[in-house]
Amino acid sequence: MSKDSNQSGKADQEINKSSPHIIIEIIEYVPNSVVSKTIIKKTTGNITVSSFDEGEELAEKISPFDNYIQIIDGSAEVVINDKTYKLRLGEGIVIPAHASHCFNANEQFKMISTVIKSGYED
């Protein structure tokens, strides 16, 4: 089963500010795991980068906020309200607030997740 973890071992620690980085190198693939690292975490929203090893998945869930997903390595299967989308490198999708969704890794992939918590969601 999948494991949510943080490469640095500190769940909410952001990456260094004002320090250039190569986005796909901030997180590594870990066998049989889903790994996440916080880029920015604020009360108004967060940006997280995650890596999924082949065969891993994140269980279905619902978020009260829109979530923008961008694939930065590999390709991913995203299921939103029972509709399946295959996202390739460079592609993105908005998961609407209150939509049921999950992720499946038919191959390794990395993604950036951006959530803005405006408080005025439709």
In a domain, 122, yes or no: no
63-76 burial, b at 16+ Cβ within 10 Å, e below that, comes to bebbbebbbbbbeb
We report the CATH number of the domain holding residue 24 as 2.60.120.10
pTM of the model: 0.85
Whether 110 has a pLDDT exceeding 90, the answer reads yes
Coil, strand, or helix at residue 68?
A: strand
* Element of type H or E holding 62: strand 57-62
Question: Could you report the per-residue pLDDT of 8-56, keeping only the tens digit for each?
Answer: 333 457 888 898 989 999 999 999 999 999 999 999 999 999 999 999 9
Question: Could you report the per-residue pLDDT of 61-73, keeping only the tens digit for each?
Answer: 999 999 999 999 9
Whether 2 has a pLDDT exceeding 90, the answer reads no
Range of the domain at 38: 4-116
In a domain, 49, yes or no: yes
- Top pLDDT among 46 and 119 is at 46
In a domain, 121, yes or no: no
Predicted pLDDT of residue 10? 39
Closest listed residue to residue 98, CA positions, set 114, 84, 81: 81
Predicted pLDDT of residue 7? 38
Cα atoms in the 13 Å half-sphere on the side-chain side of 104:
10
Averaged pLDDT, 89-112: 97
In a domain, 105, yes or no: yes
In a domain, 37, yes or no: yes
In a domain, 40, yes or no: yes
In a domain, 26, yes or no: yes
Number of independent structural domains in the chain: 1
